[in-house]
Amino acid sequence: MLVVYMTLGYPDNERYLEFMEEAVKNGADILEIGIPPKYAKYDGPVIRKSYEKVAGKFDLWSFLPETRKVIGGTKAIALTYLEDWVQELDDFLCKLKRAGLDGVLFPDLLIDFVDDYQTYSTRVREKGLNNVIFTAPSVPDKMILQVSRQSDLFLYYGVRPTTGIPLPITVSSLVTRVRNLVDNKLVVGFGLSDENDLRKALKAGADGAAIGTAFIQAIDNGGVKQAIDLVIKLRSVLDEF
């Protein structure tokens, strides 16, 4: 399962849509669309800068539906921090649904809203959206077991504390620790663009990978084409398993 992340409207509306369309054609199973937050708590410098670059460049609710037009029936989930929307959550979820999104992933749900995470999950589902739950090695085993059964589409497991920074970890140990606890598709993310790391994660039992920062860097370095080449390469690594 290849989960492709891109910041909404990055680097501009036209190239963003081109990337999304081509990503689907070249093997992305699920798209994650980053909605610029006030505070990207668990994002590294690359994604944070991408948010700054697009901030204020589009009207969220009129631009989001454009994605649906170019990606056809592929599942697309919004990625944004619950903190920003918690006061107007039902309204936010309704608008996401109307904009053609299939679900939502709140990275801070289990961290900053842990006592009420089930209530929030229910509210997401009541609006007809999938609720993809974000976990990490700092989530205790019992809770990983529990939420893995409640997460829709797959369970997200961020192996590093921040996106995009190649902090030293043993990815195989981290995946092995939770593999038997996860009663769902296990998708690993956070700094996994390195092919060796990715292979180790898949060998240890991951069902897929979520990649983001590497596509933004590829767009910055060589445009949409280079980013799509990376989609093709990562797809082929996943297809080895």
Partner 1 sequence: MVVVGVYDTPMVNNAEEILPKYWYNIIPDLPKPLPPPRDPLGAEFSRIDLLRTILPKEVLRQQLTIERYIKIPEEVRERYLAIGRPTPLLRARRLEEYLGTPAKIYFKYEGATPTGSHKINTALPQAYFAREEGIEHVVTETGAGQWGTATALSATMYGMKSTVFMVKVSYEQKPMRKSIMQLYGGEVYPSPTDLTEFGKKVRKENPNHPGSLGIAMSEAIEYALDHHLKYLVGSVLDVVILHQSVIGQETIAQLDELGEEPDVLIGCVGGGSNFGGFSFPFIGNGRGKKYIAVASAEIPKFSTGEYKYDFPDSAGLLPLVKMITMGNSYVPPPIYAGGLRYHGAAPSLSLLMKEGIVGWREYNENQIFEAAQMFMRTQGIVPAPESSHAIRAVIEEALEAKRANRKEVIVFNLSGHGLLDLPNYDSMMKRVTSNEQR
- Classify 11 as helix, strand or coil: coil
Quote the CA–CA distance of 85 and 6 in Å, as a whole number. 20
For residue 11, whether the previous peptide bond is cis, meaning omega lies within 30 degrees of 0, is yes
Residues with a catalytic annotation lie at: 32, 43
Alpha helices (H) in 39-169, listed in sequence order: 45-54, 60-71, 82-85, 89-98, 109-112, 117-126, 141-148
Residues that bind partner 1 (CB under 8 A): 38-39, 41-42, 44-45, 110-112, 114, 135-141, 143, 160-162, 165-170, 173-174, 177
Question: Residue 10 CB, nearest distance to partner 1 (Å)?
Answer: 19
Compare residues 1 and 111 and give the one whose CB is closer to partner 1. 111
Compare residues 189 and 224 and give the one whose CB is closer to partner 1. 189
Question: Residue 210 CB, nearest distance to partner 1 (Å)?
Answer: 17
Compare residues 114 and 232 and give the one whose CB is closer to partner 1. 114
Compare residues 76 and 216 and give the one whose CB is closer to partner 1. 216
What does the buried/exposed string (b/e) look like for 92-129 if buried means 16 or more CB atoms within 10 Å of the residue's CB?
bbebbbebebbbbbbbbbbbeeeeebeebbeebeebeb
